[in-house]
Chain A
Amino acid sequence: MQSLKAGHLDASRWERRLQKELMSLMKEPPPGVEVDGDQAEQNLSLWTVHMKGAEGTLYEGESFQLQFKFSPKYPFDSPEVTFIGSNIPVHPHVYSNGHICLSILTDDWSPALSVQSVCLSIVSMLSSCKEKKRPPDNSFYVKTCNKNPKKTKWWYHDDSV
């Protein structure tokens, strides 16, 4: 018997939910998305997702890596999602350290969202980009921010991209 800590699924349900998400992401991934299943199996709280820029967009032909970290409070608490690796997309909402300014990753998170829906949002955020550029406050932010993007007080002001 496990008691319920505030804000947690108990460990077995946490595991089952992530296990189910992993299965469905491997079986029916959004276009251009591929999860590293072996790594995720090893450690369910840390996933790497490979993502290809969609055809016909500014990111066509590029590939990126996303990292998902799940706290024990997942899915009540959003996952920590950052771009990692050598190629960080140049996008007005993506900082050069890989942090992403996307409301569903903090304020607008809901436990009915999933890795799959987050991936889809990020693909679509990249796809709707009209001009490749870094956020205007990139250099300042990257110098001063916390390692965890969820510690940043994001200001969501631009719905267009």
Chain B
Amino acid sequence: MLCSIPASRASSSWLNRLRASKGFPVPSDLDLEQFLRPSSIPNPTSPPPELDVAGLLSARPPRSRKKHPPLVDPPAPGKRIGDDEELQLFDLMRNALSDLFVMGDPRDLAARRKGLRKQMNPRACVPSASASVDCGASRAALETPPSSADNSVAEAQKGRTKMRKRGTGGQAADSDLSAYSRTEVTVIDTSSSAWKSEKALYRKGMVWKVREKKVGNFCRKKRRLGLGEKIADKKRVRPLADLKGRDLCAKLESQDERCTLIDNGANAKEFVDHCQMPRRPKSWRSPRLPQKSSSPSKSSLPFRLQVIAAKK
């Protein structure tokens, strides 16, 4: 939002609305530059300052609060100094804006009016990708991208510090993965409880992010757990259609991303049903297949239906 603030009076109506919404007064002769100057800081008695500043900063990542502590810069000589609250409010405002733009020294703000209107070096607001490279890792330090993690201890430690400041900023980082290439991978890891898992892998250069794909177990084969299941397994007749259905599931999964994002049981069940629907073509069964005495007079279709019913 703030990126698009022009300093012209012509379009000040929305700016006034913004100011009003944030609790700042809306004088008719106040433009952005005056607003930014220490001398033009409005009377702090009218709005509740703490509340406003907190509201303004809440839109930004928490790290900026640590990165820009209030009252860092001493006031420039010759500058008209207001009371402490005014100065604090100004610094917070400046910090908020300088986190989004490369602002330069505020002391020569007046000398570079045009530079303020049009940012010469806009800072990219993309959340850092090193934030949540992996989910569930215990040591955030080692989740820095390989460019730093692989190369030096110093950089690894730097990354560690950054991660601490960022805290749980993973969700914010999730929102912008458009710059990343996406690859779907099937990973087998014998150290995880379910050996096989589907993951979405995002890559930008040397930065990798991994996200779990929430897939139901509808494509996995039932595992043997105990004697009861073993007996059931013995009775089980697994027609090849089942296998074909599974293959089809896998194909659907890879073709349509939405299929893989289902995470509730109802949807998963729906897919089970869909997976069972496809039947092998009639020509699959060889006419030379010897007919066994167990089903001599039955056609293949009723037999299959019977199997499915038994399974349910």
Determine if chain A interacts with chain B.
no
Interface residues, chain A, with chain B CB atoms under 8 Å away: none
Interface residues, chain B, with chain A CB atoms under 8 Å away: none
